[in-house]
Amino acid sequence: MTQVTVSRPLAAKPAFPAIRVLNLLALARQRRRLAELDDRALEDIGVTRAQANAEANRPFWDAPDTWLNTPS
């Protein structure tokens, strides 16, 4: 797994599109990982295999608004 660490604050306006892209990439990665969980792990988090597959099959641009909005 790759982690990105930011050691300094990002510039306010120019960074927003980049942050949105990073958020969408993170969402896609999380959805892939959800699909890889075994049934026992899914049961632990209260998600059925059908729900996990449905979420994993959503396109990366189908993100909640809270993922696309960044603080100003």
Report the candidate in 29, 11, 21 with the shortest Cα–Cα distance to residue 68.
21
Enumerate the domain spans of the chain.
Answer: 27-67
Question: Can you give the length of the chain in residues?
Answer: 72
pLDDT at 1: 47
Per-residue pLDDT of the chain (72 residues), as tens digits, is 455 455 555 544 545 788 888 888 999 999 999 999 999 999 999 999 999 999 999 998 888 777 656 554
pLDDT at 67: 64
Q: Which two tokens stand for residue 24?
A: 């969408």
Q: How far is CA 28 from the centre of its chain?
A: 5
Q: Which residues of 32-65 are buried (b: 16+ CB within 10 A; e: fewer)?
A: eebeebeeeebeeeebeeeebeeebeeeeeebee
